[in-house]
Chains A and B, each alone.
Chain A
Amino acid sequence: LLCVSPTVSLTVFQEMEDKVISPEKAEEAKLKARYPHLGQKPGGSDFLRKRLQKGQKYFDSGDYNMAKAKMKNKQLPTAAPDKTEVTGDHIPTPQDLPQRKPSLVASKLAG
């Protein structure tokens, strides 16, 4: 005769029921198995505060500008020099100025 304590058998039964009823709880168990140090509440303030501060952090503005320059060198074709530049003689008016140049890297949706 195998005597199992009633409370133990009840817990086992409960776990089995949970797995059958809730795929979400099964997924939670999977996650906790992989990351045992994961905190209880993901909606806690640490999580939210990290969300508030999204964006890449740089050491300072010099660091930022260097990173941008590196990216720019990869992308852009050189713009052709403007042949009909109006300079020097007089104060330019809006009609004098060359038409606003399109973005140097135009969106492919507009292609």
Chain B
Amino acid sequence: FLGAGGGNDIQWCFSQVKGAVDDDVAEADIISTVEFNHSGELLATGDKGGRVVIFQQEQENKTQSHSRGEYNVYSTFQSHEPEFDYLKSLEIEEKINKIRWLPQKNAAQFLLSTNDKTIKLWKISERDKRPEGYNLKEEDGRYRDPTTVTTLRVPVFRPMDLMVEASPRRIFANAHTYHINSISINSDYETYLSADDLRINLWHLEITDRSFNIVDIKPANMEELTEVITAAEFHPNSCSTFVYSSSKGTIRLCDMRASALCDRHSKLFEEPEDPSNRSFFSEIISSISDVKFSHSGRYMMTRDYLSVKIWDLNMENRPVETYQVHEYLRSKLCSLYENDCIFDKFECCWNGSDRQVESLSLCTSDLSNIVMTGSYNNFFRMFDRNTKRDITLEASRENNKPRTVLKPRKVCASGKRKKDEISVDSLDFNKKILHTAWHPKENIIAVATTNNLYIFQDKMN
């Protein structure tokens, strides 16, 4: 296991947990997305109730060198409200599907948040001083009677308690007939894409009344519909390249220079399937729930129901690596179909890009060598591409002691269960970890259970 020995492996320790303790979870409190900003100083969460909570890392305390700064609430606001689609008589959920941060250009922070239909650009800014000493106004804002003004003074800025304000700067609406699953900011930092089940649109961050459709897979006859778009992402370096994944387990890479409408892919990534192995469940479990480019852009990672696959952009016919997240679920697919868990959309993420790679690395140049993804029973998994070792950890309040290394977990697939192992039938399928995030520079991870946010750090010596 990672952490079971060897100075090069990361030893994860509990750091913090946010959220209510009670078991009765209100639907609004279900966390639906987690994202660090580019510096890692800010950590944003979105929930089913349409709210965004942003945590800020404390400045490192020089005297307390054994731990990194804690994350505390910085700002919280209602990003989206429930709406009603009058034409279809359907509710438009306020659930935040994705948050993506813009790189910081000035004192303020900007993020994009989206629900099923509308994307919003939010500006989060600090105010730590206010003007005082107006001549014509009282301190509470009421205007003074001008005849009572006998002297003049120059208003000055005086310090005040820090106030963090969030304001919506742009609202990108009415461009999606179907449900938005992804947003991705281009490396040009001027444009971004939004993807729904059948279409992908390109926006300019400054322009809200116009959007370009760049992918449209809607068939003329809906009876012929065979697959939907499940995720999309821009290449980290090439501003005309993006990928999108499908419910059939394929990934298409498109180049916007080729044509205005990128319905014809430049590359198609698909693993050949053995037709004799095909079952009723094959297509459902092959549906890709997340796609993430590696930091260099040479590789990309996809998550399907049972595995994580690493693809080399230069090789379309099969992934270069496949990691089994919870293969023991293959013999439970019938029940997982009946309770709908088979449709759960797990995300995946890479380690941060600046960390020193201490172990012998085949992939040093990429610096993307650890993969993290969630599972059931509040378990999450990590795979080290270099050492080929993996570990299963649990996000639970029982492992609450800071600086105590988390104990690896093991699921007993069949046969005799060893002590400390948990059998497949004892797994709690209501405790799912769908969203995880890795700090861009340090070994700090944020793991979301249903309604709690856990922060883990590596053990500092």
A residues with a Cβ closer than 8 A to B are 22-28, 30-32, 34, 38, 40-45, 48-49, 51-61, 64-65, 68, 84, 86, 89-90, 92-93, 95-96, 99-100, 102-103, 105-111
Give Cα A103 to B142, complex, Å. Answer: 27
Q: Are B225 and A48 in contact (CB under 8 A)?
A: yes
By size class, the interface of chain B is 35 or more
Give Cα A90 to B137, complex, Å. Answer: 12
Q: Are A42 and B283 in contact (CB under 8 A)?
A: yes
Add 5 more A-B contacts to A27-B330, A45-B223 (CB < 8 A): A28-B281, A52-B178, A52-B198, A109-B45, A111-B20
Q: B279: which A residues are within 8 A, CB to CB?
A: 22, 24-25, 27-28
Q: A111: which B residues are within 8 A, CB to CB?
A: 19-20
Residues 222-238 (chain B) with a chain A CB within 8 angstroms:
222-228
Q: Are A24 and B333 in contact (CB under 8 A)?
A: yes
Q: Interface on chain A toward B: helix, strand, loop, or mixed SS?
A: loop
Give Cα A53 to B197, complex, Å. Answer: 10
Q: Are A43 and B143 in contact (CB under 8 A)?
A: no
Q: Are A55 and B277 in contact (CB under 8 A)?
A: no
Across the interface, A43 reaches (CB within 8 A) one of B84, B88, B198, B284, namely B284
Q: Are B283 and A41 in contact (CB under 8 A)?
A: yes
Across the interface, B29 reaches (CB within 8 A) one of A45, A51, A100, A107, namely A107
Task: Please name the residue on chain B nearest to A68 by beta carbon.
Answer: B82
B residues with a Cβ closer than 8 A to A are 18-20, 28-29, 31, 45, 47, 49, 51, 53, 73, 76-78, 82, 84, 86, 88-93, 116, 140-143, 163, 165, 178-179, 197-198, 222-228, 247-248, 277, 279-284, 330-334, 337-338, 451, 453
Shortest CB–CB separation between residue B165 and chain A, in angstroms? 7
Q: Are B333 and A27 in contact (CB under 8 A)?
A: yes
Q: Are B179 and A84 in contact (CB under 8 A)?
A: no
Q: A28: which B residues are within 8 A, CB to CB?
A: 279-281, 333-334
Can you give 16 contacting A-B residue pairs, CB < 8 Å? A31-B333, A31-B337, A31-B338, A42-B284, A43-B226, A49-B222, A51-B228, A52-B198, A60-B89, A61-B84, A61-B86, A68-B82, A102-B76, A105-B28, A107-B49, A109-B45
Shortest CB–CB separation between residue B398 and chain A, in angstroms? 20
Q: Are A89 and B142 in contact (CB under 8 A)?
A: yes
Q: Are A103 and B77 in contact (CB under 8 A)?
A: yes
Known: A68-B82, A107-B49. A95 touches B141 (CB 8 A): yes
Q: Are B29 and A108 in contact (CB under 8 A)?
A: yes
Q: Are B248 and A110 in contact (CB under 8 A)?
A: no
Known: A60-B89, A102-B76. A48 touches B228 (CB 8 A): yes
Shortest CB–CB separation between residue A99 and chain B, in angstroms? 8
Give Cα A102 to B164, complex, Å. Answer: 12
Give Cα A109 to B454, complex, Å. Answer: 11
Q: A89: which B residues are within 8 A, CB to CB?
A: 142-143
Give Cα A108 to B30, complex, Å. Answer: 10
Q: Are A43 and B91 in contact (CB under 8 A)?
A: no
Shortest CB–CB separation between residue A73 and chain B, in angstroms? 15
Across the interface, A24 reaches (CB within 8 A) one of B198, B225, B277, B338, namely B277
Shortest CB–CB separation between residue A12 and chain B, in angstroms? 18
Shortest CB–CB separation between residue A61 and chain B, in angstroms? 5
Q: A106: which B residues are within 8 A, CB to CB?
A: 51, 76
Task: Please name the residue on chain A nearest to B85 by beta carbon.
Answer: A55
Across the interface, B225 reaches (CB within 8 A) one of A45, A86, A90, A99, namely A45
Q: Are B226 and A108 in contact (CB under 8 A)?
A: no
Across the interface, B280 reaches (CB within 8 A) one of A32, A90, A96, namely A32
Shortest CB–CB separation between residue A67 and chain B, in angstroms? 9
Q: A45: which B residues are within 8 A, CB to CB?
A: 222-226
Across the interface, B19 reaches (CB within 8 A) one of A68, A99, A108, namely A108
Give Cα A93 to B134, complex, Å. Answer: 14
Q: A108: which B residues are within 8 A, CB to CB?
A: 19-20, 29, 451
Give Cα A44 to B227, complex, Å. Answer: 9
